[in-house]
Structure 1
Amino acid sequence: MSKITVIFPDASSLEVIAPDPKICPCCNYGIQAQNLFVSDVEYIKDIYSFIVVHQCPNCSKYFITEYIQDPIFIHDVDLTEFVARPYTIPFKISISNESSLTDISERFLEVYKQSLMAEHYGLHHLVGMGLRKSLEYLLQDYLSIINPNDIEKIKSSTLSQNIKLIPNENLRSLATASNWLGNDHVHTSVKWPDKDISDLKAFIDALTYLLLTELSILSAKEMISRKSSNGSTL
């Protein structure tokens, strides 16, 4: 344990007790880390916290530890003891047309985002499986919109069976290719060695764009048909 001087939100300076990192997360060696920077204390959701930037004396790499107020001392006016937890830098995922896709398939977005997070954190064996599952959700929800009377059938069908139900040939081609590449990341045998995750993501991105366009066209046609059935002219 070490004593660290920190600045609290009321600008008061206070010496607190915090545990020292014992192992470097970069090289996995037992260390006595050097503290290079200590942030001011934040007060969020009734908890005080601050971060410390360390440097490993073994590999010379930097890492961050977040210290939070020990729950035992939440009501202690001295606020003397903090506990450590690994600090993860937030990873912001930006997806084109996210608000429009939310209206079609929240399940797709949830799994798709998790797949991108897995890629960001180097969990490469999980990315393709997640993308394939997101594709399955997307097509189920899309087909349920255009075929509302067949929802139960669509949900109980396989991905390959549902792809055959897609009326738009371009959509069907993108879905088929995405399914093939997704299978390469689910099964141990690889049938498309010249393609990788970037190709799968590109196909799914194109699929979502075309799918949104297709639904907009169907909506426009429905408006025109409704106007015509009312005896109006364009």
Structure 2
Amino acid sequence: MYVELPDFCPHCGKSVEPILVSQNIVKGNESQCAELCWKCPNGICSRLFLSSSELSVQNGNAYYLLSQYQLIPTYCPPIDFADEVDRVSPQFSEIYRQANRAENAGLNEIAGVGYRRALEFLLKDYCVYIRPEKEDDIKKEFLSQVVQKFVDREEIKQIATVALWLGNDESHYVKKT
């Protein structure tokens, strides 16, 4: 059996030649699936991960790769925000990272809602930062009203309005865009 060797670790993101730990063939009617467990040789990481490839059986035991391998977990590069962003809105940073992990895992139906939520935290926290005396009002208002009432910079207001319009679309049954 030949399957393509993963060339990086999905945990640490380093380029590696992983060590094969175990393998399993899942048999189906038309095709089979090769599941391989690998260990990252990077001493700092040393974590396990899986690759999965669909195989075809021809001529008895000869296996031919039908699909590119899929790594589990999927690799999600780290995202670092400017210190100012983390200071003003630490929840934005965490929510955004979670939405990004969902997107990288192929969970596109929930990633958009996560990005929209992250944007809400960033904008409201920013408004509280620039107008701390209005914190209670900012927390109670709908985000679109907060942007219109408390964001003074026109370019931020315009970008936020468009982003909210697109982001809101992610959470509705029928998208309007």
TM-score range, shorter chain: 0.5 to 0.7
* Residue identity in the other structure for 2:107: L
* Distance of 1:107 and 1:145 partners within structure 2: 14
Q: 1:139 to 1:29 in 2, by over 3 A?
A: farther
- Counterpart Cα distance in 1 of 2:112 and 2:99: 8
What is the TM-score with the length of structure 2 in the denominator? Answer: 0.64
Runs of 4+ in 1 over 3 A off after TM superposition: 27-35, 37-45, 48-57, 61-64
Alignment partner of 1:186: what SS? Answer: coil
Aligned to 2:117: 133
Secondary structure in 2 matching 1:93: coil
Task: State the distance in 2 between where 1:149 and 1:114 align.
Answer: 31
Evaluate the alpha carbon distance shift between residue 42 and residue 190 of structure 1 in structure 2; reply closer, same or farther with a 3 A threshold. Answer: closer
Following TM superposition, by how much is the alpha carbon of 1:157 offset from its aligned partner in structure 2, in angstroms? 1.8
Determine what percentage of the aligned residue pairs are the same residue: 26
**Offset of 1:118 from its aligned partner?**
2.2
Change (3 A) 1:151 1:87: same
Matched residues in 2 for 1:139 and 1:126: separation? 20
TM-aligned CA deviation for residue 170 of structure 1: 1.4
Match status 1:122 vs 2:106: yes
Instruction: State how many pairs are aligned.
Output: 148
**1:137 and 1:29, CA in 2 relative to 1: closer, same or farther beyond 3 A?**
farther
Q: Which has the higher contact order (CA 8 A, sep 6+)?
A: 2
Task: Indicate the residue corresponding to 2:157 in structure 1.
Answer: 172
Counterparts of residues 38-57 of structure 1 (less than 5 Å): 56-57=54-55
SS across alignment from 1:21: strand
Considering only CA atoms, is the larger Rg found in Structure 1 or Structure 2? Answer: 1
Residues 65-96 of structure 1 show CA distances to partners (whole Å, capped at 9, x for unaligned) of: xxxxxxxxxxxxxxxxxxxxx8424321345x
Unaligned runs of 5+ in 1: 1-17, 65-85, 193-234
Q: 1:177-216 residue pairs with structure 2 within 5 A? A: 177-192=162-177
Distance 1:108-1:28 versus aligned 2 partners, 3 A rule: farther
Inter-partner Cα distance in structure 2 for 1:115 and 1:106:
15
Offset at residue 98 of structure 1 (A): 3.1
Offset at 1:174?
A: 1.0
Which amino acid in 1 is paired with 2:140? S
| TM-score, with structure 1 as normaliser | 0.50
State how 1:49-198 maps to structure 2 within 5 Å. 56-58=54-56, 60=65, 61=67, 63=69, 87-95=72-80, 97-164=81-148, 165-192=150-177
Classify the secondary structure of the residue corresponding to 2:173. coil
Cα drift, residue 155 of structure 1: 1.5
RMSD over equivalenced CA pairs, Å: 3.8
CA contact under 8 A between 2:102 and 2:110: conserved in structure 1?
Answer: yes
